[in-house]
Amino acid sequence: MRKILFSLSILCILVSCHMFDGHTTIVNNSSYTVSFEWGGKTETIEPNKSTTINYTYVKITNLNPNKRVVINYIDDNNRDITDLPSYEVRVENLSSETLTLKANGWLGNDMENIIIGEYIDDITQKGRIYTKSPKFTVSGNLFPVTVLHQFINDICYVKIF
The per-residue pLDDT for 93 is 87
- Residues 144 and 98 placed together within one structural domain of the fold: yes
60 within domain boundaries: yes
The per-residue pLDDT for 15 is 52
- Measured over the CA atoms of residue 132, residue 35, residue 54 and residue 49, the dihedral's sign is positive
The per-residue pLDDT for 149 is 95
Amino acid code (one letter) for 130: Y
Owning domain of residue 35? 21-83
Domain count, the chain: 2
Rounded CA-CA distance 141/102 in Å is 15
- Cβ atoms of 140 and 119 within 8 Å: the answer is no
Rounded CA-CA distance 121/115 in Å is 12
pLDDT in tens, the chain (161 residues): 666 655 566 655 555 544 555 788 999 999 999 999 988 899 999 999 999 988 777 788 899 998 999 999 998 889 999 999 999 998 888 888 888 889 998 988 778 777 777 665 655 567 889 999 999 988 877 778 899 999 999 999 999 98
The closest of 95, 88, 94 to 128, measured between CA atoms, is 88
Question: In the listed set 83, 100, 128, which residue is the last one of a domain according to the structure?
Answer: 83
The per-residue pLDDT for 48 is 96
Amino acid code (one letter) for 142: L
- Residues 26 and 72 placed together within one structural domain of the fold: yes
The per-residue pLDDT for 9 is 64
Rounded CA-CA distance 42/54 in Å is 14
DSSP secondary structure letter of residue 118:
S
